Each structure stands twice: as C-alpha cells, then as structure tokens.
Chain A
Amino acid sequence: GESVGLHLPTLSVQEGDNSIINCAYSNSASDYFIWYKQESGKGPQFIIDIRSNMDKRQGQRVTVLLNKTVKHLSLQIAATQPGDSAVYFCAENNSGGSNYKLTFGKGTLLTVNP
C-alpha cells in the first residue's frame, strides 16, 4: 500500500487479474479524494473521485472505497490490462475551509505482466 512520506511501493499483477492499490491519508478533515494515473512522461490523469459522504463509488472497471474510520482509501481495477501500467496517486482535499489544497501521496507503481 501507499502512504504519504514513504518510498514508492510497487504492485505487479498478471493481465486479467484484479488490482487493489491502497492509500492511507493523513488529514481527518479531508472530505474529497481523487485517484490519478500517471504514465511515463505525462501529467497525472483523473481516474475517479469520491466525497466523504460516500464509502464506495464505481466507474468503468474501477472502484474506489473510502474508510474514514481508519483514513484509508483504495482503488480496485478489474481485469487489469497492460495499458493500466502506470504510477497511481491518491490525493486528498479539505474543501470545507477556504483553502483548497490537493495533497498527493507518493504513488504506487503498477506493473501489468502480459
């Protein structure tokens, strides 16, 4: 799993398997969370987001789970494909205040083996 401040963890999966990427966030006041995907040489790309009034949200092949009790976020990718290989970042934001700061974790490197 991933946590802000630690080294970049890696996850290696076989094509077709499901992937789970974890993230521990730091601010209990954070109420908006985003998962980004970053491929080599490109900027981070939005995947899916979730607000703190939800504990699960589904997209196309992706699901984000939020556990506010333990400040944990996860991204599940179904039927992982080689094109999913990238670094995945979770980001947290506290939009309740006047200062909107999207804080990123260090990222998890996902490698999909064909």
Chain B
Amino acid sequence: DAGVIQSPRHEVTEMGQEVTLRCKPISGHDYLFWYRQTMMRGLELLIYFNNNVPIDDSGMPEDRFSAKMPNASFSTLKIQPSEPRDSAVYFCASSRTGDTEAFFGQGTRLTVV
C-alpha cells in the first residue's frame, strides 16, 4: 500500500482565497483524521470520520473550515476564505479502527499571504 496520500504537498495562496486540501486514506481503514500542526499549538485534531461520517468536528476552528468524505477513498478539507493565521501543515491520517495506530500522510504545507 502507498500509505496515506495527500495533495498538494505545498500550497501558497492569497488571503481571501479558497483552499482545498485532499486526502486518500489507506484502503480498508475505517477512520480518517485531519490534523493541523503549528509551532505554537503542536498537533491539533480538527475533525475525524468513521465510515465516511463526520463524528467529531469540535476541533474545527471556525465556520471557514469544512471537511467532507464523499466515499471511503477520498476526503477534502476546505478553508474559505483563507487567512494568514491558517498557515500551518495539515495532516491527514487513517486508522483501521478507532483504537489502533493512525498512519499519517506527508502533509500539506499551507502558506496564506
């Protein structure tokens, strides 16, 4: 398996623009997680899905953030409109069950100028 695949690896956008991050989880994994990593706050869980259904989105910072999982092999995290404080590395991870190790993608480094 190729592991969790995220795209793009890097994204630079202007404030106010819409940003869409993409993730392909490991096949057969029922859980998908979106994390954000910054120097100040470390790794924060934004939202997670179980069998394509959003279970907990309490970590989503604002209404500007939204996430979808239309099928078992694809998820998106959208920020609209983007702001400079959204600059961070966004990770997608998947796990076979909710209490086993999560496997992370390489991340998307987002810079909002």
Q: B99–A32 contact, CB under 8 A?
A: yes
Q: How far is the CB of A36 from chain B (nearest CB, A)?
A: 8
Q: How far is the CB of A37 from chain B (nearest CB, A)?
A: 11
Tell me if B12 is interfacial: C-beta within 8 Å of chain A: no
- Which of A42, A101, A107 sits near B45, CB closer than 8 Å? A101
Q: B104–A43 contact, CB under 8 A?
A: yes
Chain A interface main SS type: loop
Interface size on B, residues (CB 8 A): 22
Q: How large is the interface on A (under 10, 10 to 19, 20 to 34, 35 or more residues)?
A: 20 to 34
CA distance A38 to B4 in the complex (A): 15
Q: A70-96 vs B: 1/0 string, CB under 8 Å?
A: 000000000000000000010001010
Tell me if A69 is interfacial: C-beta within 8 Å of chain B: no
CA distance A44 to B77 in the complex (A): 19
Q: How far is the CB of B46 from chain A (nearest CB, A)?
A: 11
Q: Assuming the A-B contacts A95-B99, A107-B42, are A102 and B105 also in contact, with contact meaning beta carbons closer than 8 angstroms in the complex?
A: no
Q: B30-59 vs A: 1/0 string, CB under 8 Å?
A: 010100000000110100101000011000
Q: B42–A44 contact, CB under 8 A?
A: no
Considering the complex, give the chain A residue whose CB is closest to the CB of B56: A99
CA distance A45 to B102 in the complex (A): 9
Q: A106–B104 contact, CB under 8 A?
A: no
- B interface with A by C-beta (< 8 Å): 4, 31, 33, 42-43, 45, 48, 50, 55-56, 91, 93, 98-107
A34-B101, A101-B48, A101-B56 provided; 7 other pairs, C-beta below 8 A? Answer: A43-B93, A43-B105, A49-B100, A95-B99, A99-B56, A100-B48, A100-B99
Q: List 16 A-B contacts (CB under 8 A).
A: A32-B99, A34-B101, A36-B104, A42-B107, A44-B91, A46-B101, A49-B100, A49-B101, A93-B99, A99-B55, A99-B56, A100-B99, A101-B56, A103-B45, A105-B42, A107-B42
